[in-house]
Amino acid sequence: MELSVIIPTLNEAGNIEKLLTYLKSQLKGVAYELIVADAGSSDNTRDLSTSIGATFLSCDRMCRAYQMNEGARVATGAVLYFVHADTRPPEHFFEEIKSAIKQGFEFGCFRFKFDSNSFLLAINSYFTRFKSIVFRGGDQSLYITKTAFQKLDGFNDKMRIMEEYEFIIRAKKQYKFKIIPKDIIVSARKYDENSYLRVNLANFIVFSLFRWGASQKIMLNAYNRLIKHPKQESLK
């Protein structure tokens, strides 16, 4: 298997069918598998996933880092690609990933832009082309060779928040990181339920707490107090 796409989910019936169908359209001629690592959805995420041919994993913990690790554990692909259910990778994304790996970048991500015409969100998107860790995030999707992922022991599944940031910082100590200059489309639903300023304030505070070494409990409490999140139940 060339590629394993791993998608952590919780009640993503509104997004998973569209994403899986799109991924299949982009992977013609590729030996791939689609793995949905689910945290106990009460909607029909399972039925939609399996009807499209994805492998559905029922995870016994509501924790994205744990779910992604579980997906990676059963994956058979030489390359792992972690994708959020409410995003859409760019066209020909696997060709871009393979090219980056051939250049010596064993892990990396894409830039992103929102599914919104908001000028302020366009500013946020612009900065994802820069290498600083402050401009990273799981929504940008993350690819990595399976060999490198295993050597790093995967994500820290004790983390409920900021797990992708911690992983990138740790992985950069051993491997070259690539920001592929193509855009993944990201849902603006979190901004739709809050204000632009409120979400960015929450992001700034939680990122600062992370850099200062604050506990997961402190970061989660701060985040949950500041904004309403579409997946709030997974962050408690």
Render pLDDT for 67-104 as a digit per residue (tens, 0 to 9). 999 999 999 999 999 999 999 999 999 999 999 999 99
For the chain, where are the E strands, in sequence order?
A: 3-9, 32-38, 55-58, 79-82, 87-88, 107-114, 142-145, 177-186
For residue 214, CA distances in Å to 4, 153, 154, 222, 226 come to 33, 22, 21, 11, 17
Calpha distance 64→142 (Å, rounded)? 14
Query: So what's the pLDDT on residue 229?
Result: 63
Confidence at 60, pLDDT banded by 50, 70, 90:
very high
The mean pLDDT value for 180-206 works out to 93
Confidence at 227, pLDDT banded by 50, 70, 90:
confident
Tokens 């612009």, residue located: 126
The token pair at 54 is 């994805």
Backbone angles phi, psi at 133, to 5 degrees: -60, -25
Calpha distance 146→139 (Å, rounded)? 20
Confidence at 230, pLDDT banded by 50, 70, 90:
low
Confidence at 228, pLDDT banded by 50, 70, 90:
confident
Query: So what's the pLDDT on residue 1?
Result: 79
The mean pLDDT value for 201-209 works out to 94
Query: So what's the pLDDT on residue 167?
Result: 97
Examine the pLDDT at 233 and tell me if it is beyond 90. Answer: no
Query: So what's the pLDDT on residue 211?
Result: 94
Examine the pLDDT at 232 and tell me if it is beyond 80. Answer: no
Give the bridge partners for 7, in sequence order: 36
Backbone angles phi, psi at 115, to 5 degrees: -80, 55
pTM of the model: 0.94
Cβ atoms 81, 7 nearer than 8 A: no
Q: What is the average pLDDT value for the chain, to the nearest integer? A: 94
Backbone angles phi, psi at 179, to 5 degrees: -100, 105
